[in-house]
A and B are shown apart, each in its own frame.
Chain A
Amino acid sequence: MQKVHRMPVQNQFMTSYMETKGGKMMPILSYIQAVTQAMKEEMERDEKVFVLGEDVGVRGGVFRATEGLYEQFGESRVIDTPLAESAIAGVGIGAAMYGMRPVAEMQFADFILPAVNQIISEAAKMRYRSNNDWTCPITIRAPYGGGVHGALYHSQSIEAIFANQPGLKIVMPSSPYDVKGLLKAAIRDEDPVLFLEHKRAYRSIKEEVPDTDYTLPIGKADIKREGSDITIITYGLCVQWAIQAAEKLASEGIDVHILDLRTIYPLDQEAIKQAASKTGKVLLITEDNKEGSIIGEVAAIISEHCLFDLDAPVKRLAGPDVPAMPYAPPLEKEFMINQDKIEAAIRDLAEF
């Protein structure tokens, strides 16, 4: 299946089509359209699947992720909730324990914090503390990340808060194709999955997505680009910046290998070891604050297992250690990862 990265187009809400090699029409979906399509298909497939969240019903979600679902499935399966994240998570967890398949939406990942107790203390521990008698098949979706002038409370990367809770899975896809396959897998998973969507990617990233039913394995990283000089390991929107930087540097003879983690908890250790050992020069990228981020854990895995293949110190490119994404555009730009920053970091490693 050929994956194509597209620049944003004007008519973002319409599904467009393009001709493929085989002559078969394959729809081009944006990242958020892939989210909607995955939920729609799962709700059609399994009547136990339902969505709940703030403004997900008539409004179709503030980002339009649930657009059309209320009309198609009705108010009993597309439930508007009060502004109470703890309740959204708690209701979902209870329903899941009763055999339902809830897809709970946090309007912004920044607002998930009131629900932390429900997610970590209840959902993540359910199977373990009941000795396998109970499971909690809930999917919690939340848009994260900056670069949309969202300022302090609409730009955070919150994955590190949840990323040492065995029992909880965290999926952070980088492309529409991965979104559809992974969200469907998350909904079908018997255990709680935190599904984090980059809000900047929602309408800026588009690619061909088959309208067939498919899932992608949770817990498996994906090689987005084969290369032999530098290994980049990252996830989410940063994967897209990395691909663009790699394509540009390929013309200068720097061959970049890109591993997309896709699931950031638990990590795909084998894939990380293989990717790091392949070139011996590793660049880890995250939009999160540098200290205590996921990529620190990735670096630890590499240093534990790959010492004798390393040819350079493991390099981290991340957000600065300041409390939040600033509102001022120049400061927001400084905080965000971009293609230029990645290019400079790759060059530095390549020269080493």
Chain B
Amino acid sequence: MVLENIKMPQLGESVTEGTISNWLVQPGDHVNKYDPIAEVLTDKVNAEVPSSFTGIIKEIIAEEDETIAVGELMCTIETEQKEEVRSTDQFDNKTIEKDSAQSVELDQTDMKKRYSPAVLRLAQENDIDLSEVKGNGRAGRITRKDIEKVIADKGSGLETAPKPATKPKKPTNTIEAQNGDKEIPVTGIRKAIASNMVRSTTEIPHAWMMIEVDVTNLVKYRNAEKDLFKETEGYNLSYFAFFLNAIAKALKKFPELNSSWAGDKIIQHKDINLSIAVAHGKELFVPVIKNVDEKSIKGIAKEIAQLSQKARNGSLTQEDMKGGTFTVNNTGSFGSVQSMGVINYPQAAIIQVESIVKRPVIIDDMFAARDMVNLCLSLDHRVLDGVISGQFMSHIKEILENISGDTTPIY
């Protein structure tokens, strides 16, 4: 084994430096001569750097995004061919001929996946994934010492850290854009949404429930008031304000729903701060209306209007998004009649308010045309069970079906 250096090559006339945009190999990888090892960006070209040797990548010296001069060290590689040259100086000739002939033969095949009985046993007993262990033996073979080191490190918690770091890399490699596909980089809000959703669905055991509510009275009441309201206040009297009002009242009665999972305990919140989902363009914001239970229909409608406005012109602040204890999603606004929401982590539940649809309903053995709406609840089954959630939903139904100027004044 001879350690060789791979240096930044001259990637074009007058090119003096290059930026490593992407390493294509990792330490421990076996590469053949001329295999690409890194992508490099220079001011003239965007090129792949080929390996000058066959061997095992030992150490990556230049980091990604680092700009280094031509001739500077990029990485080191342990080559296989030159064994004889070195060993002949050290031992007497005859032993060497035998020994090196044997080792060259071994080195030609990658030993990374040739496991000795001891290595297999230790890996099995200690639940170690051998594909993630770096081999320090000949031609990358994992030795018993390597495994024993992993076991020792595992005990002190060192091993757990690198594991998740290597895993997410794999799936990104498996999907590749075909001709004509458009690649959209995942950045900013999309990235945040993605990681929140992954966290919520992987961590929270979701359960779902849907109830059907007859909101004929609400529709009548709101239709009677909306024009005057718009005229006097300058913004819409939306159905959503009534739903938020009803949900806040129900949360007051069932504070269990207004809580968060905190690992060893459940935190029940005193304030009722409703996160509302507001879509804008390709993005989704979840601003918060605070203390909804203390606000009139008008007050709620006003805040909805303000937050929507802010979302549209992109002036929502971090302050607007903070402190939510329960989420209400107005899925009905785009015509949905049923959906299964993903809980807004770390809250305990989310309600999706669906479209209000006129449907024939049987009342007193007669058909009647009624305004119907579905409310879909997703709940964190660690915090909540079916019974309490059912009572909560029934209570909302009762409030909504009995809405009138008397029970729910606008001002």
Task: Give A contacts to B, CB under 8 Å.
Answer: 229, 279-281, 307-312, 334, 340-341, 343-344, 348, 351-352
B99 part of interface (Cβ distance < 8 Å): yes
Decide if B3 is an interface residue (CB 8 Å cutoff): no
Q: State whether A307 touches B1 (Cβ < 8 A).
A: no
Is the pair B99, A280 in contact by a Cβ cutoff of 8 Å? Answer: no
Minimum distance in angstroms from A275 CB to a CB of chain B: 14
Instruction: List chain B positions with a Cβ less than 8 A from chain A.
Output: 1, 87, 91-92, 94-96, 99, 102-103, 116-121, 137-138, 141, 143-145
Docked complex Cα distance between A279 and B102 (Å): 22
CB distance from B209 to the nearest CB of A (A): 54
Q: Name the distance in Å between B136's Cβ and chain A's nearest Cβ.
A: 9
A277 and chain B: residue at smallest CB distance: B118
Q: Is the CB of A308 within 8 A of B145?
A: no
Q: Judge whether B99 and A348 touch: CB under 8 Å.
A: yes
Shortest beta-carbon distance from B130 to chain A in Å: 14
Q: What residues on A are CB-neighbors of B119 within 8 Å?
A: 311
Q: Are B117 and A352 in contact (CB under 8 A)?
A: no
Cβ-neighbour of B118 out of A229, A309, A348 (below 8 A): A309
Contact A307 B91 (CB under 8 A): no
Complexed CA–CA distance, A280 and B103 (Å): 19
- 12 A–B contacts from the bound complex (CB under 8 Å): A279-B144, A308-B118, A308-B121, A309-B117, A310-B118, A311-B118, A311-B119, A311-B143, A348-B103, A351-B103, A352-B138, A352-B143
Give CA–CA (A343, B99) in the complex, Å: 12
Inside 8 A of B118's CB, which chain A residues have their CB? 280, 308-311
- A310 and B116 CA atoms in complex are apart in Å by 7
Q: How far, in angstroms, from A280 to B120 measured CA to CA in the complex?
A: 13
Q: In angstroms, how far is the closest chain B Cβ from the Cβ of A249?
A: 12
Q: Which of A307, A309, A344 contacts B95, CB < 8 Å? A: A344
> A307 and B137: CB pair below 8 A?
no
Within 8 Å CB of B116, what residues of A?
A: 280, 310-312
> Would B94 and A340 count as touching, CB distance under 8 A?
no
Minimal beta-carbon separation of A331 from chain B (angstroms): 11
- Specify which chain B residues have a CB less than 8 angstroms from the CB of A309 in the assembled complex: 117-118, 121, 144
Choice from A308, A340, A351 contacting B117 with Cβ under 8 Å = A308
Q: Is the interface of A mostly helix, strand, loop or mixed?
A: helix
CA separation between A96 and B120, bound complex, in Å? 54
Could you tell me the distance in whole angstroms from the C-beta of B85 to the nearest C-beta in chain A? 15
Partner of B94, one of A229, A312, A334, A351: A334
- Bound complex: CA A351 to CA B137 (Å): 6
Which 6 A-B residue pairs are closest in the complex by CB-CB distance? A311-B144, A308-B121, A311-B118, A311-B116, A280-B118, A280-B144
CB contact under 8 A between A310 and B117, given known A229-B145, A352-B141: yes
Q: A310-B118, A311-B144 are in contact. Are A351 and B1 (CB under 8 A)?
A: yes
In the complex, chain B residues whose CB is within 8 Å of the CB of A280: 116, 118, 144
Residue pair B137, A344 in contact (C-beta under 8 Å): no
Alpha-carbon gap, A281 to B117, bound state (A): 12
A196 to B119, CA, bound (A): 39
Residues of B within 8 A of A279 (CB): 144
The residue from B95, B102, B141 contacting A340, defined by CB atoms under 8 A apart: B95
Contacts of A308 in B (CB 8 A): 117-118, 120-121
Q: How far is the CB of B363 from chain A (nearest CB, A)?
A: 77
Q: A344-B99, A351-B103 are in contact. List 7 more A-B contacts (CB 8 A).
A: A308-B120, A311-B143, A311-B144, A340-B92, A341-B95, A351-B1, A352-B141
| Chain B residues near A343 (CB-CB < 8 A) | 91
Expressed in whole angstroms, the Cα–Cα distance for A154 and B203 within the complex equals 80
Inter-chain CA distance A343–B141, complex, in Å, is 21
Chain B residues whose CB sits within 8 angstroms of the CB of A307 once the complex forms:
117
Closest-CB distance, B213 to chain A (whole angstroms):
67
CB distance from B107 to the nearest CB of A (A): 10
Residue of A nearest to B95 (CB): A344
Shortest CB distance B145–A (Å) = 7
In the bound complex, CA of A348 to CA of B90 (Å): 13
Q: Which residue of A lies closest to B136 (CB)?
A: A351
In the bound complex, CA of A340 to CA of B90 (Å): 9
Chain B residues lying within 8 Å of A341, measured Cβ to Cβ, are 95
Give CA–CA (A308, B144) in the complex, Å: 11
Closest B residue to A338 using CB positions: B92
Which of the listed residues B1, B94, B103, B117 has the most CB atoms from chain A within 10 Å of its own CB? B117
Shortest Cβ distance from residue B124 to the other chain A in the assembled complex, whole angstroms: 10
A351 to B141, CA, bound (A): 9
- How far is it, in angstroms, between the C-alpha of A334 and the C-alpha of B97 when the chains are bound? 14
For B102, the chain A residues whose CB sits under 8 A away are 348
Whole-angstrom distance from the CB of A34 to the nearest CB of chain B?
32
Of B87, B95, B121, B138, chain A has the most CB atoms within 10 Å of the CB of B95
- Residue in chain B with minimal CB distance to A307: B117
Query: Is A352 within 8 A of B95, CB to CB?
Result: no
Chain B residues near A344: list those with CB within 8 A.
87, 91, 95-96, 99
Shortest CB distance A209–B (Å): 34
